[in-house]
Amino acid sequence: MDQLKETYLEIGLGDLVSKLLGKGYAFAYWRMPNTEERNLIVSLSDPEVKESINQLDPGFLFNRFNDNHPKAPLHIKADIQFKEGHSPVIDPRVSDSQLSEFKERLESDTKTQVQKKADSSGDHSAFERLVAQAVEEIRKGELHKVVLSRFKDVSTPENFSLTDFFDKICESYPNAFCSLTHINGEGLWIGASPELLVSDNNDRFKTTALAGTRKIDDQPLSELAWTQKEIEEQAFVSRYIINCFKKIRLREFDEYGPKTIKAGNLAHLKTEFEVDYGEVQFEGLADQMLDLLHPTSAVCGMPLELANGFISANEKYDRSFYAGFLGPVNFNGSTDLFVNLRCMNFCGDQARFYAGAGITEDSNPEKEKMETDLKMETLLSLFLN
């Protein structure tokens, strides 16, 4: 173990990530919002499906969009933790033979190939037709909102550097949760999510309602004008969270917002909800709220069952981990899970970029398609330049 610590003490985290690529290990590399510190964890075994986060070992959770009720996130266990300028922290249950194999694999030139996933194409006109179909369904009166998504496949540029790309993301989106996650068979997922789903520590529980999208030009955030459609869309998400609190009979919470926030070159409406554990004793709140919140109306719609059914029947592709959730769990005394938005899946020489838009009875198909273009541009512009 001492040899491992000496070997990797002076290596930068970006270089370690480069060494890990194609070596068959699950790992997660992330930076929390409004911080500079980055963390890298490696699991020496395949991630396991977990149904409760309360008693999990420190690690990282990664959950698909459609793994819900009950949720079933994959848990990347922090067998080895790396932090810039520090010796690796190794779980005492890790054996010497596991560490020897890890070191040998990292230093070898052998790499496994990431398999590409076949899917239908992300046709622009098909998305607009789907939006029109959703608006027609909403106007019938039972479905109030549905979040529809699309994707775009892009060839990887020559001389592309994954770690340089991640550095650009962190620099461009300081307020976002920036992450790079690998699980065997799923490729690499990279994102800059502006939306907190669940934050839980000894002091407070937090969640947010985020909806509405406007491009920022030169005007101050305080001067951005929101349409009735965008205000109502954000109110749907806030009411959804409040109804989740009511289901578990929790009424002592603080609500802040909505307010306009910046996420790269886009603005959103955001409302924050907090529960102070000094005032409210509520065991297992994070687990209960995660079960109720995912998927939120910000990525699925309302009512949940009708919106989810419409998506399953009409979207015609697998969202996979897009619009799921991810983040560190029980790590340094805190669990912080984010909705997997502004993300892409990197598979070999192809990258798939995802984006969605909330559809209500006032939606315009062409404008909703333009909104998804703006959201994809978050990472796409950095990827191609």
Of 332 and 2, more confident: 332
Residues 88 and 154 in one domain: no
More confident residue, 347 or 352: 352
Predicted structure pTM score:
0.93
Which single residue is written with the structure tokens 């068959």? 24
Q: What percent of the chain has pLDDT over 70?
A: 92
Give the largest CA-CA distance in the chain: 67
Q: Does one domain contain both 81 and 156? A: no
User: Do 128 and 91 share a structural domain?
Assistant: no
The number of CA neighbours under 13 Å toward the Cβ of 84 is 11
Statement to judge: residues 316 and 215 lie in one domain: yes
> Could you list the residue range(s) of the whole structural domain that residue 348 is in?
124-384
- Gap between the Cα atoms of 336 and 81, Å rounded: 17
Burial of 6 (0-12, 13-18, 19+ CB in 10 A): exposed
* Per-residue pLDDT at 314: 96
Give the Cβ contact number of residue 211 at 10 Å: 26
Is 375 among the domain residues?
A: yes
- Considering the domain architecture, whether residues 86 and 202 belong to the same structural domain is answered as no
Residue 116: band (very low, low, confident or very high) from pLDDT cuts 50, 70, 90: very low
Who contacts 359 (Cβ-Cβ below 8 Å, separation ≥6)? Answer: 131, 134, 135, 138, 145, 146, 147, 148, 301, 368
Q: Do residues 130 and 279 share a domain?
A: yes
**Model pLDDT, residue 120:** 45
* Residue 251 contacts residue 273 (beta carbons within 8 Å): no
**Helix H or strand E encompassing 207:** strand 204-215
Asked if residue 30 is part of any domain, the answer here is yes
Boundary residue ending a domain (107, 140, 175): 107
Give residues with Cβ within 8 angstroms of 285, minimum separation 6. 200, 205, 248, 250, 275
In this structure, the answer to whether residues 377 and 316 fall within a common structural domain is yes
Name the token pair of 318. Answer: 């697998």
Beta strands in 282-349 (DSSP E): 301-302, 325-329, 335-339, 343-347
pLDDT computed for residue 10 by the predictor:
63
